[in-house]
Amino acid sequence: MDSRTIGILGGGQLGRMIVEAANRLNVKTVVLDAPGSPAKQINSVGEHVDGSFTNPDDIEKIARKCDVLTVEIEHVDVATLKSLQKKLPDVKIYPSPETIELIQDKFLQKEHLIKNKIAVTESVSIDTPSVNTLVSVGEKFGYPFMLKSKTLAYDGRGNFIVKSEKMISEALEFLKDRPLYAEKWAPFKKELAVMIVRSIDGRVFSYPTVETVHKDNICFVCYAPARVPDSIQLKAKLLAENAVRAFPGCGIFGVEMFYLENGELLINEIAPRPHNSGHYTIDACVTSQFEAHVRAVLNLPMPKNFSSMATSTTNAIMLNILGDEKEKNKELQICKRALETPGASVYLYGKESRPKRKMGHVNVVTSSMEECERRMSYVIGKIKDLPK
Ligand code: ATP
Ligand code: MG
Ligand code: MG
């Protein structure tokens, strides 16, 4: 399809699924991450780079092996990417390093969205973390409020819910030595997300608005489309499109938002890469989020409706398979029940089982959300027998 090679910074499950999508189009990919990482396991080319996406030399090494450099994670060394734009101008970098820089610091990201008139949760930078500072945040925002790390956050691992003044010292201890900001609590009815892909010529395509449910800060299930009125789905899509337009460059973006009790929509955060809330697209959409990204960064055709659901009656639920907390590999029982379930597809990422680690996901696709729910209840083990 294309003789250019895509280099991927990061070899986790998102990289692995980019590799799968690229393979189907016969597009070559090379990966920078630790040896044996999920994306490398399914891609036996010799030119992968063993190392880290935070190490300048390793990043330059992979840049020299590819025509287009992309990321599966935003926590990469942006200074190196910027210098490579000058040093190796023939290697294109998507998403643009400016975008990664604006997004990888969640507070900078918020300030940028506000500057672009995008509705976000109210927040304040905590430049001198102390009990007194946070007591005044509590007076301003009320309780609970969120204390968040500005950088290196994922799966809620940089977040602490401050439920009362008494928890302030615990919060400071939990997030010590990290750059912090505080965020007002968003009293949401639901969390929504929209995947958006932007082409090199600036066209924006959105996937359907979905609903994500988090448990302990980690995405648990995702309903596609979201079980909200059409008007809210549309409002979410427009908000997500406007938010993505505020960042330069092409590729896929995941936009997370809160749908508040009062009907308002606020952006939570944006990811400049494939996103957990877009895994359903592999089975439910004409083109998956991973293939959309490959097409975008290679400037391949992206026709009208390529990001739509496969049919007008397609409904899907995605379930994350997390490492069992008590018994190693016990989560595979869920996968086995999924294999017994019509309309279900199982994806395992090739990782060693650890408690709460994202090990894989299951998509269930049918023509009604009620039927998806029934089948997913069996997969999860909530009901014993598979529905007729
Ligand atoms: P990700 O894995 O999505 O990158 P993250 O570590 O960056 O996660 P956030 O997206 O900031 O973390 O928060 C994780 C979850 O915590 C959210 O999806 C939401 O359920 C909850 N949350 C975050 N901020 C708030 C808030 N201000 N009010 C209420 N709930 C919140
Ligand atoms: Mg995040
Ligand atoms: Mg998030």
> What's the pLDDT tens digit per position in 103-162?
999 999 999 999 999 999 999 999 999 999 999 999 999 999 999 999 998 888 899 999
Q: Spell out where 246-351 has E strands.
A: 251-260, 265-271, 315-322, 344-348
ipTM confidence: 0.98
Per-residue burial over 43-71, b = 16 or more CB atoms within 10 Å of its CB, e = otherwise? beeeebbebbbeeeebbbbbbebbbbbbb
Residue 216: per-residue pLDDT: 86
* φ, ψ dihedrals at 57, nearest 5°: -65, -40
Q: Any residues with CB less than 8 A from the CB of 238 and at least 6 apart, and which?
A: none
Rounded CA-CA distance 194/253 in Å is: 8
Q: Any residues with CB less than 8 A from the CB of 304 and at least 6 apart, and which?
A: none
Beta bridge partners of 345: 363
> What's the pLDDT tens digit per position in 64-117?
999 999 999 999 999 999 999 999 999 999 999 999 999 999 999 999 999 999
Q: Is the pTM of this model over 0.95?
A: yes
Collect residues with CB below 5 Å from ion ligand 3: 256
Q: Which atom of ligand 1 is nearest to the CA of 188?
A: 29
Query: Residue 99 is encoded by which pair of tokens?
Result: 């975008």
Query: Residue 346 is encoded by which pair of tokens?
Result: 């199982």
What is the DSSP pairing of strand 92-93 with strand 28-33? unpaired
* Pocket mutation for ligand 1, best pick of 104, 124, 146, 148 (most atoms within 8 Å of C-beta): 146
294 to 29, 91, 217, 282: CA distances (angstroms): 10, 15, 29, 14
> What's the pLDDT tens digit per position in 180-231?
999 999 999 999 999 999 999 999 999 999 999 999 889 999 999 999 999 9
Residue 249: pLDDT band (50, 70, 90) is very high
CB 257 within 8 A of CB 277: no
Residue 217: per-residue pLDDT: 86
**Cis omega (within 30 of 0) on the bond before 248?**
no
> What's the pLDDT tens digit per position in 290-344?
999 999 999 999 999 999 999 999 999 999 999 999 999 999 999 999 999 999 9
Which residues form ligand 1's pocket by a CB distance below 6 Å?
121, 146, 148, 153-159, 183, 185-186, 191, 214, 217, 256, 268-269
Nearest C-alpha to atom 12 of ligand 1 is from which residue?
156
Nearest C-alpha to atom 2 of ligand 1 is from which residue?
155
Residue 46: pLDDT band (50, 70, 90) is confident
CA 367 to chain CA centroid, Å, is 26
Ligand 2 centroid–CA 387 distance in Å is 36
Rounded CA-CA distance 137/315 in Å is: 42
Has residue 59 got a pLDDT over 80?
Answer: yes
Has residue 383 got a pLDDT over 90?
Answer: no
Hey, what amino acid is at 167?
M
CA 85 to chain CA centroid, Å, is 25
Has residue 385 got a pLDDT over 90?
Answer: no
Nearest C-alpha to atom 17 of ligand 1 is from which residue?
217
> What's the pLDDT tens digit per position in 331-369?
999 999 999 999 999 999 999 999 999 999 999 999 999
Ligand 2 centroid–CA 326 distance in Å is 26
